[in-house]
């Protein structure tokens, strides 16, 4: 039997930091035991000397995700949209010459490149690939305020685009997907097309010792991942300062990943708080972490604090929240977001009011006071979270069948994801 081949196209993958690299390589690794070969098309800036990254081809010199597309006004938007889709089409089409892949996966599709992939489906399938999967990880407004209305031109383009995949989806040669039930509902309400819901591709899990086994060990609040305003890093450090000052008797510590100063909307820089820098109960991680280091820090954390702003994360998922739930770690999170939906079903935690420092501080204190109960609840839901986000579920979504059984490829898996 010929080796099956998977192609991942991610023009935003430019370095080893962030979720892009971890997610794409996680998909490669989950296919290795099945003998499936994976190639990743990445940004031209990507470099690595690791043997594990030989499957990554740095090709794209432009990426909307990395800020290479700028527009103001309808005409400028339409022109830039056309130019970038043509560029993506030309790069991928050139790479596909003389190649064949059983599945092509686009993990960060937006309106800025999805027309290109629709065109590739028309011109290069089935000669160059058998199936295409488009993952819509962001809303129709991309990174804009999630509560803002979608412009008429943009909404019309989304309707045309998503409905153009209908026949290919019915045949199983294409799949429109997202990783958020809220996003799926938004797309369906606006366009009449409901994407399939995929699980998170990268699930880092740790086996934690009994958190209450050592009474002298400080209870650790953690926040891992990129420090950004949309993720509420300013709220977190203010709340941490207030909690430490207001409850000096509490046996707690904070572990916060914060690599560089954060630029505010007015251009000024948000820096680490001087009081927190001088407090032995606060540890700042000021560099990117390897997978091993990330897992080690995850193992230290008793409660993950994710004060993500609702305007950006109303419908977007958080990979860190999934990792917390699958590791049996409690979470403090923003109310009325994807986080609240997910953790109500698969995790344990306390919600706080969006953007409210006092509400966040109270939630962290309540978590500490009731830590034994939340530890038990998080541990009891862990296996449910692991089942929901298993590699097997993701692979079945990608291939349209169980890839462990190549004979089943003639039929499309009918289960709901």
Mean pLDDT for the stretch of residues 61-89: 84
pLDDT value of residue 20 = 87
pLDDT value of residue 188 = 96
Q: What are phi and psi of 291, to 5 degrees?
A: -60, -40
Task: Report how far residue 64's alpha carbon sits from residue 50's, in angstroms, rounded to the nearest whole number.
Answer: 27
Based on the fold, state whether residues 103 and 178 are members of the same structural domain.
yes
Based on the fold, state whether residues 143 and 237 are members of the same structural domain.
no
Residue 45 domain-assigned (yes or no) = yes
Q: Are 138 and 152 in contact, with CB atoms under 8 Å apart?
A: no
Task: State CA 143 to chain mean position distance.
Answer: 13
Of 28-42, 159-173, 318-332, 394-408, least confident by mean pLDDT is 394-408
Based on the fold, state whether residues 190 and 236 are members of the same structural domain.
no
Mean pLDDT for the stretch of residues 17-35: 88
Residue 372 domain-assigned (yes or no) = yes
Based on the fold, state whether residues 231 and 113 are members of the same structural domain.
no
The residue behind tokens 């040669």 is 173
Residue 310 domain-assigned (yes or no) = yes
The strand pairing partners of 104, in sequence order, are 7, 132
Based on the fold, state whether residues 342 and 275 are members of the same structural domain.
yes
Statement: residue 408 has pLDDT above 70:
no
3-state helix/strand/coil string of the chain: CCCCEEEEECCCCCCCCHHHHHHHHHHHHHHHHHCCEEEEEEECCCCCCCHHHCCEEEEECCCHHHCCCCCCCHHHHHHHHHHHHHHHHHHHHHHHCCCCECEEEECCCCCCCHHHHHHHHHHHCCCCECCEEEECCCECCECCCCCCCCCHHHHHHHHHHHHCCHHHHHHCCEEEEECCHHHHHHHHHHHCCCCEECCCCCCCCCCCCCCCCCCCCCEEEEECCCCCHHHCHHHHHHHHHHHHHHCCCCCEEEEEECCCCEECCCCCEECCCHHHHCCCCEEEECCCCCHHHHHHHHHHCCEEEECCCHHHHCCCCCHHHHHHHHCCCEEEEECCCHHHHHHHHHCCEEEECCCCHHHHHHHHHHHHHCHHHHHHHHHHHHHHHHHHCCHHHHHHHHHCCCCCCHHHHHCCCCCCC
Q: Are 270 and 233 in contact, with CB atoms under 8 Å apart?
A: yes
Domain count across the chain = 2
Classify residue 324 as exposed, middle or buried by CB count within 10 Å of its CB (0-12, 13-18, 19+). Answer: buried
Mean pLDDT for the stretch of residues 365-374: 97
Q: Are 110 and 84 in contact, with CB atoms under 8 Å apart?
A: no
Based on the fold, state whether residues 42 and 190 are members of the same structural domain.
yes
Residue 417 domain-assigned (yes or no) = no
Residue 213 domain-assigned (yes or no) = no
CATH number of the domain that residue 327 is part of: 3.40.50.2000
Residue 210 domain-assigned (yes or no) = no
CATH number of the domain that residue 30 is part of: 3.40.50
Based on the fold, state whether residues 403 and 384 are members of the same structural domain.
no
pLDDT grade for 415, boundaries at 50, 70 and 90? very low
Based on the fold, state whether residues 167 and 242 are members of the same structural domain.
no
pLDDT in tens, 256-266: 999 999 999 89
Based on the fold, state whether residues 58 and 138 are members of the same structural domain.
yes
Angle 319-326/371-388 helices, nearest 10 degrees? 110
pLDDT in tens, 343-364: 999 999 999 999 999 999 999 9
Q: Is the dihedral of CA 99, 16, 221, 262 positive or negative?
A: negative
Tokens of 254: 């904070």
Based on the fold, state whether residues 22 and 134 are members of the same structural domain.
yes
Residue 343 domain-assigned (yes or no) = yes
Residue 262 domain-assigned (yes or no) = yes
pLDDT value of residue 192 = 95
Tokens of 151: 């412009």
Based on the fold, state whether residues 82 and 196 are members of the same structural domain.
yes
Based on the fold, state whether residues 183 and 265 are members of the same structural domain.
no
pLDDT in tens, 197-255: 999 876 667 776 666 667 789 999 999 988 999 999 999 999 999 999 999 999 999 99
- Provide the residue range defining the domain that includes 243: 219-388
pLDDT in tens, 131-186: 999 999 888 876 554 555 677 888 999 999 999 999 999 999 999 999 999 999 99
């Amino acid at each position: 039997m010929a080796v099956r081949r998977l192609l991942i196209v991610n023009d935003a993958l430019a370095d080893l930091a962030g979720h892009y690299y971890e997610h794409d390589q996680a998909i490669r690794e989950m296919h290795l035991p099945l003998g499936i070969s994976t190639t990743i098309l990445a940004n031209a800036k990507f470099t690595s000397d690791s043997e594990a990254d030989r499957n990554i081809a740095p090709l794209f010199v432009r990426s909307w995700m990395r800020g290479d597309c700028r527009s103001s006004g309808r005409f400028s938007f339409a022109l830039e949209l056309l130019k970038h889709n043509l560029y993506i089409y030309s790069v991928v089409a050139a790479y596909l010459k003389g190649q064949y892949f059983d599945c092509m996966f686009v993990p960060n599709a937006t309106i800025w490149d999805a027309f290109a992939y629709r065109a590739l489906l028309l011109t290069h399938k089935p000669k160059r690939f058998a199936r295409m999967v488009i993952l819509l990880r962001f809303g129709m407004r991309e990174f804009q305020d999630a509560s803002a209305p979608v412009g008429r031109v943009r909404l019309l383009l989304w309707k045309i685009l998503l409905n153009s995949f209908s026949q290919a989806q019915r045949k199983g040669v294409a799949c429109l997907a997202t990783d958020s039930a809220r996003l799926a509902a938004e797309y369906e309400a606006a366009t009449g097309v409901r994407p399939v819901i995929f699980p998170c591709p990268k699930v880092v899990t740790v086996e934690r010792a009994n958190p209450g086994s050592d009474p002298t060990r400080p209870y650790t609040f953690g926040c891992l991942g990129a420090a950004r305003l949309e993720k509420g890093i300013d709220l977190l450090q203010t709340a941490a300062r207030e909690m430490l000052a207001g409850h000096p008797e509490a046996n707690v510590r904070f572990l916060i990943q914060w690599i560089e100063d954060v630029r505010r909307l007015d251009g000024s820089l948000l820096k680490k708080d001087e009081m927190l820098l001088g407090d032995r109960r606060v540890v700042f991680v000021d560099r990117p972490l390897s997978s091993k280091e990330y897992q080690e820090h995850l193992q230290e954390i008793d409660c993950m604090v994710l004060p993500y702003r609702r305007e950006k994360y109303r419908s977007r998922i958080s990979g860190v929240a999934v990792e917390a739930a699958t590791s049996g770690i409690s979470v403090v999170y923003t109310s009325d977001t994807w986080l609240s939906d997910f953790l109500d079903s698969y995790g344990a935690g306390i919600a706080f009011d969006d953007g409210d420092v006092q509400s966040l501080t109270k939630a962290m204190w309540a978590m500490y006071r009731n830590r034994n109960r939340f530890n038990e609840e998080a541990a009891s839901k862990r296996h449910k979270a692991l089942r929901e986000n298993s590699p097997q579920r993701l692979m079945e979504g990608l291939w349209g069948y169980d890839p462990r059984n190549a004979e089943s490829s003639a039929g499309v898996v009918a289960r709901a994801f």
